């Protein structure tokens, strides 16, 4: 049985999704931040005959994220999605969303699959003294940070803006660390979708002239160390196996693939 979830279901939902906090980063974060059934967010749950929650479907604006640990009512979830004329994206763990995708007749604009990795402890670490050069970004430094990102080829077409980074910092749903070399911002790493249980690492970048000096590694170690000390599981997407080697050296391990289907 699929029903809309309400505040009365919060405990049961959180117990279900928090068994896998990295895998359910977006569901946990969005429910903690925005709750149930407002104008841009709705949550549905599928219950078995004993009343146990076995699957979840989150709608955030035009995006849908399904999650289940086993078999689920793909026809029921597909019906909800297909009844929304504004549906623009379905994303989630590959093994969950690839069952659903054939039942969505809307025309796809893009189809991407990323490696999905998580970290529960660091394999490589450094002392606070060794990491004292790593700073946390303030509101006054956001423009400089955005300029750094836009100077790196892989971020030139991204939609990172001063406004979006400001909102994340003010809402405490993310943070940015960086290192300066001779006063110039040289490398950076950020989080997004931070919640009480997990956080996603994004926007790891170094200016070309400062590469191969271990700066990004130090930035990542400090960021990961602080988050792990707060009891958070870390996760990230990557599509370049070479980048994956760096993350694995720090302690990240692949947990599967994250698929994103965007629709016209």
209 CB-near residues (< 8 Å, 6+ apart): none
Chain segment 132-152, per-residue pLDDT in tens: 999 999 999 999 999 999 999
According to the model, what pLDDT value does residue 250 have? 95
CA distance 167 to 155: 19
pLDDT for the residue 206: 95
- Residues 79-101 have a mean pLDDT of 97
The separation between CA 168 and the C-alpha centre of its own chain, rounded to angstroms, equals: 13
Residue 258 has pLDDT above 80, yes or no: yes
**Mean of pLDDT values over 204-226:** 95
Percent of the chain with pLDDT over 90: 88
CA-to-CA dists, residue 203 to 122, 134, 216, 221, 237, angstroms: 19, 16, 11, 14, 11
Predicted local distance difference test score (pLDDT) of residue 177? 98
Q: How far apart are CA 225 and CA 250, in angstroms?
A: 11
For position 185, what pLDDT does the model report?
98
Question: What pLDDT shows up at residue 243?
Answer: 80
The pTM (predicted TM-score) of the whole model is 0.84
232: left (phi over 0), alpha (psi -120 to 50) or beta: beta
Mean pLDDT of the chain, nearest integer: 94
From the list 222, 185, 217, the residue with the least C-alpha distance to 204 is 217
- At 240 the pLDDT is 84
Contact 132, 107 (CB under 8 A): no
Residue 3, pLDDT score: 97
Q: Which pLDDT value is given to residue 234?
A: 96
Q: What is the pLDDT of residues 13-54, one digit of tens each?
A: 999 999 999 999 999 999 998 899 788 999 999 999 999 999
Tell me the percentage of the chain whose pLDDT exceeds 70.
Answer: 100
């Amino acid at each position: 049985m699929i029903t809309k979830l309400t505040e009365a279901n919060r405990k049961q939902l959180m117990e279900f999704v928090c068994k896998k906090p990295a895998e359910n980063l977006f569901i946990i974060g969005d429910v903690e931040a925005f709750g149930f059934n407002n104008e841009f967010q709705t949550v549905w749950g599928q219950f078995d005959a004993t009343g146990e929650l076995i699957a979840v479907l989150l709608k955030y604006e035009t995006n849908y994220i399904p999650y289940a640990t086993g078999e689920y009512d793909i026809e029921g979830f597909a019906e909800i999605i297909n009844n929304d004329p504004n549906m623009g994206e379905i994303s989630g763990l590959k093994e969950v969303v690839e069952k659903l995708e054939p039942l969505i007749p809307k025309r796809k604009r893009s189809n991407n699959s990323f490696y999905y990795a998580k970290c529960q402890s660091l394999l490589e670490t450094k002392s606070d003294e060794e990491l004292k050069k790593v700073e946390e970004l303030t509101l006054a430094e956001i423009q400089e940070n955005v300029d750094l990102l836009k100077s790196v080829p892989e971020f030139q077409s991204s939609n990172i803006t001063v406004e979006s980074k400001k909102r994340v910092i003010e809402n405490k749903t993310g943070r940015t660390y960086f290192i300066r070399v001779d006063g110039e911002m040289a490398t950076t790493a950020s989080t997004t979708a931070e919640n009480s249980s997990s956080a996603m690492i994004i926007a790891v970048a170094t200016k070309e002239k400062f590469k191969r000096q271990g700066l990004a590694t130090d930035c990542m170690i400090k960021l990961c160390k602080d988050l792990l000390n707060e009891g958070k599981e870390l996760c990230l997407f990557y599509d370049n196996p070479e980048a994956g080697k760096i993350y694995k050296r720090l302690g990240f391990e692949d947990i599967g693939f994250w698929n994103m289907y965007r629709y016209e």
